[in-house]
């Protein structure tokens, strides 16, 4: 009998599986932090987690409530500053970063600045970049966790806060960003997406159990295709769910958002 889980638990488990042992990852709070904690407790005990506020390599005891929470330094290898964390990215030493936004387009560009056409009078003013632009520009692989709907997955972002593949092949390099860096995976409540090697457009790699390609397309504001023979996402195991529920997020701050 398969374990029962909610969409957020599935997304976190999918993200955790992408983080290899011995790699580096920049995370914020929320689902990305939960994914890193789950990875450390399962297959990646030597995953080195960086927080923007300066915590490096902590063994997180419980879910922190902010990037400045003292738990982000617990048993860490360094208690430093934002400047040192960003320098690590600039030196090409950050393998993964988790980012998000109100909008994402087919090339993985993100908007966390505003909704609307007039910057001075937007429909909605959003928090802005924070460190997202820096992380996306200098880390090797960008991971995104988000719900899947047409309001988020748009043909063109209203404001380019964070660079993905910009306008397509060669655009990141033309903008002065390092070859080989850029968007890697998008994990939603419907599917896991990657990017086509040549076109750099988003494509579906696997569908979550019970989800169809038609559902994904109807919830995406641009044309999206499948990468060859579609896989079915592996459901969370009982062990993953136990660790996630009992050790990572026992108060259900994150996984309670079903």
Residue 120 backbone dihedrals phi, psi, to 5 degrees: -75, -25
In angstroms, the CA 245 to CA 3 distance is 13
Let me know if 178 is exposed, middle or buried by CB neighbors in 10 A (0-12, 13-18, 19+): middle
Please state whether beta strands 191-195 and 182-187 pair in parallel, antiparallel, or not at all (unpaired).
Answer: antiparallel
Q: Which residues contact 214 (CB under 8 A, 6 or more apart)?
A: none
**Set 9, 20, 52, 203: catalytic member:** 52
In angstroms, the CA 51 to CA 255 distance is 21
8 Å CB contact between 181 and 115: no
Is 52 noted as a catalytic residue in this protein?
A: yes
State the angle between helix axes of 31-41 and 7-18 in degrees (0 to 180), rounded to the nearest 10: 60
What are 88's strand-pairing partners? none
In angstroms, the CA 113 to CA 149 distance is 19
- The runs of H, that is alpha helices, within 125-212 are 132-138, 171-174
In angstroms, the CA 203 to CA 187 distance is 12
8 Å CB contact between 249 and 34: yes
- Give me the active site residues, please: 52
């Amino acid at each position: 009998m398969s374990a029962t889980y909610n969409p957020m638990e599935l997304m976190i488990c999918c993200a955790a599986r992408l983080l290899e042992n011995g790699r580096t990852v920049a995370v914020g709070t929320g689902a990305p932090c939960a994914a890193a904690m789950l990875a450390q407790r399962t297959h990646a005990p030597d995953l080195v987690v960086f927080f923007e506020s300066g915590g490096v390599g902590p063994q997180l005891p419980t879910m922190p409530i902010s990037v400045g929470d003292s738990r982000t330094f617990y048993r860490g290898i360094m208690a430093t500053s934002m400047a040192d964390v960003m320098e690590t990215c600039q030196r090409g030493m950050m393998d993964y970063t988790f980012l998000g936004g109100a909008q994402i387009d087919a090339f993985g560009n993100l908007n966390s600045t505003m909704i609307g056409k007039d910057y001075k009078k937007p429909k909605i003013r959003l928090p802005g970049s924070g460190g997202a632009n820096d992380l996306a520009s200098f880390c090797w692989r960008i991971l995104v966790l988000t719900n899947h709907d047409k309001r988020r997955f748009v043909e063109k972002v209203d404001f380019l806060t964070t660079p993905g593949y910009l306008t397509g092949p060669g655009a990141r390099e033309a903008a002065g960003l390092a070859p080989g860096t850029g968007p890697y995976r998008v994990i939603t409540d419907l599917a896991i997406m990657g990017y086509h090697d040549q076109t750099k457009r988003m494509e579906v790699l696997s569908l979550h159990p019970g989800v169809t390609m038609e559902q994904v397309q109807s919830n995406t504001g641009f044309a999206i295709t499948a990468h060859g023979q579609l896989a079915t996402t592996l459901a969370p195991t009982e062990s993953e769910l136990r660790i996630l529920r009992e050790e990572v997020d026992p108060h259900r701050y994150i996984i309670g958002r079903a």
